[in-house]
């Protein structure tokens, strides 16, 4: 979920702020909205029995953000694993710690969360999908002991050449942040991280001869030349075919454009291995491009929002804020009622896995309603849940 809730909180007058926090499920303090602390009891991956399947899906973090209202869920992040190769989609708040807890690296006690990671894929550049990227980037070489695979390949949106529209349209445009470069892509963002952490990196290069982040990560903007020139509305066109991203031996990664307007470009990713396929939606409303990408997939990992929460939240906001918040939350995300019936079913997805759940602290009974209109298996995601793709190894 985009930064709209956190921004809205700052606009609520003090007398109404307590009610706002109650709606969000945070009764203690504003600090509960800003941090998501993974459970201290979290350790070995859940739902693993015997030897793991050769291809498997591991949910690292399942909360939508950036206002985290359930301290038992980390920010959104998903891993697809083939043999010992790990591919990570998004790095929400707490995701790097979840990766370390997942057991996907060698158990050597020396810092190995990234040892087996082959690639990182960002769906879009909202903070609740990228906020653990700075920590991953700057500490990468210290958390990859025994790594022999060379640089980790990183893919994500490129620079956007136009600003998103202002909503409501009659509102004055706010002052730009970083007016000289207001819309950097993943490469540009990473360049700024290199500058921000220069003292730390130079210290470690000169004192300990650690690998520099530039050698640890090879960062790519996904090229949309001839596909789409992003406009202020940010609603993507219908694509005739998926976008090739990377082929890593037996693993093929493709993408499509999804509708998270006005944020753009926003991607969904598909991972195909000899055992089956996993599709990760990123943030989107119902998207024909995503339905095309997810045709007959084994697992569709999809974001979901509860419209009851949206009603309660927007009712607690000032009259000049609530309608804009409601427009974004319902217009750029997929509701419980839509995700199974309108996305997973027409895609023919064998399994629908709910992630990026808003609010994270929702009762299970609400999420189960996503089964209506969907004939496949519904899985309500949990942090560190592991799901096999194809048959388990003997």
CA–CA gap between residue 236 and residue 79 (Å, rounded):
26
Q: b/e for 70-94, b at 16 or more Cβ within 10 A?
A: bbbbbbbbbbbbbeebbbbbbbbbb
Q: How many CB atoms lie within 10 A of CB 203?
A: 12
CA–CA gap between residue 318 and residue 99 (Å, rounded):
39
392: left (phi over 0), alpha (psi -120 to 50) or beta: beta
Q: What's the rounded mean pLDDT across residues 340-355?
A: 98
From 17-21, 93-97, 330-334, the region with the lowest mean pLDDT: 17-21
- Contacts within 8 Å (CB) and 24+ apart, 102-111: 102/45, 102/58, 102/60, 102/384, 103/44, 103/45, 103/48, 104/58, 104/79, 106/145, 106/146, 108/145, 108/146, 110/145, 110/146, 111/142, 111/143, 111/144, 111/145
Residue 17's pLDDT is 45
pLDDT at 201 exceeding the cut of 70? yes
Reported confidence tier of residue 393, pLDDT bands at 50, 70, 90: low
pLDDT at 25 exceeding the cut of 60? no
pTM: 0.89
Name which of 116, 140, 133 is nearest 201 in CA terms. 140
pLDDT at 355 exceeding the cut of 60? yes
pLDDT at 102 exceeding the cut of 60? yes
Residue 169's pLDDT is 87
Name which of 36, 152, 160, 16 is nearest 95 in CA terms. 36
Domain boundaries, the chain: 4-161+187-392
Q: What's the rounded mean pLDDT across residues 349-368?
A: 97
- The mean pLDDT of the chain is 89
Phi, psi torsion values for 18, nearest 5 degrees: -65, -40
HSE of 52 in the Cβ direction (CA atoms, 13 Å)? Answer: 23
Q: What's the rounded mean pLDDT across residues 300-317?
A: 94
Q: What's the rounded mean pLDDT across residues 127-154?
A: 97
Higher-confidence residue of 198 and 22: namely 198
Angle between helix 198-208 and helix 186-196 axes, rounded to 10 deg = 70
Report the CATH fold assignment for 4-161+187-392: Metallo-beta-lactamase; Chain A (3.60.15)
Task: Render pLDDT for 210-264 as a digit per residue (tens, 0 to 9).
Answer: 999 999 999 999 999 999 999 999 999 999 999 999 999 999 999 999 999 999 9
Residues of the chain above pLDDT 90, percent: 78
Task: Render pLDDT for 265-298 as a digit per residue (tens, 0 to 9).
Answer: 999 999 999 999 999 999 999 999 999 999 999 9
Higher-confidence residue of 219 and 13: namely 219
Are 387 and 299 within 8 A, CB to CB? yes
Reported confidence tier of residue 50, pLDDT bands at 50, 70, 90: low
pLDDT at 161 exceeding the cut of 70? yes
CA–CA gap between residue 99 and residue 91 (Å, rounded):
10
pLDDT at 29 exceeding the cut of 60? no
Are 213 and 144 within 8 A, CB to CB? no
Task: Render pLDDT for 57-97 as a digit per residue (tens, 0 to 9).
Answer: 999 999 998 878 888 999 999 999 999 999 999 999 999 99
């Amino acid at each position: 979920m985009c930064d709209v809730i956190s921004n809205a909180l700052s606009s609520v007058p003090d007398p109404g702020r307590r009610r706002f926090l109650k709606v969000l499920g945070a009764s203690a303090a504003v600090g509960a909205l800003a941090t998501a602390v993974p459970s201290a009891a979290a350790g070995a991956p859940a739902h693993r029995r015997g030897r793991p399947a050769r291809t498997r899906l591991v949910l690292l973090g399942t909360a939508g953000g950036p206002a985290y209202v359930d301290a038992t869920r980390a920010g959104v992040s998903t891993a697809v694993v083939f043999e010992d190769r790990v591919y990570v989609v998004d790095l929400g708040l707490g995701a790097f710690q979840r990766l370390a807890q997942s057991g996907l690296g060698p158990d050597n006690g020396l810092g190995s969360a990234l040892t087996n990671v082959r690639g990182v894929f960002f769906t879009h550049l909202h903070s609740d999908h990228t906020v653990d990227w700075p920590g991953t980037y700057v500490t990468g070489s210290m958390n990859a002991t025994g790594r022999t695979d060379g640089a980790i390949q990183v893919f994500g949106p490129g620079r956007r050449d136009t600003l998103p529209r202002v909503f409501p349209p009659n509102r004055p445009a706010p002052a730009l942040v970083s007016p000289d470069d207001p819309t950097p892509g993943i490469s540009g963002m990473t360049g700024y991280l290199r500058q921000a952490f220069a003292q730390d990196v130079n210290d470690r290069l000169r004192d300990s001869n650690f690998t520099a982040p530039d050698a640890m990560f090879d960062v790519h903007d996904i090229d949309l030349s001839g596909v789409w020139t992003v406009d202020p509305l940010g609603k993507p066109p219908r694509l005739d075919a998926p976008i090739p991203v990377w082929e890593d031996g037996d693993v093929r990664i493709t993408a499509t454009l999804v509708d998270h307007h006005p944020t753009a470009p926003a991607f969904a990713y598909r991972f195909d291995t000899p055992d089956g396929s996993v599709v990760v939606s990123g943030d989107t409303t119902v998207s024909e491009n995503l339905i095309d990408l997810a045709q007959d997939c084994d697992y569709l990992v999809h974001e979901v929002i509860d419209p009851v929460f949206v009603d309660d939240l927007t009712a607690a906001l000032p009259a000049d804020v609530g309608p804009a918040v409601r427009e974004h939350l319902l217009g750029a995300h997929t509701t419980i009622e839509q995700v199974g019936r309108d996305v997973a079913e027409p895609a023919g997805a064998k399994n629908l896995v709910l992630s990026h759940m808003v609010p994270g602290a929702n009762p299970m009974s609400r999420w189960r309603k996503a089964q209506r209109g969907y004939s496949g298996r519904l899985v309500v995601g949990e942090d560190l849940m592991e799901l096999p793709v194809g048959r388990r190894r003997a």
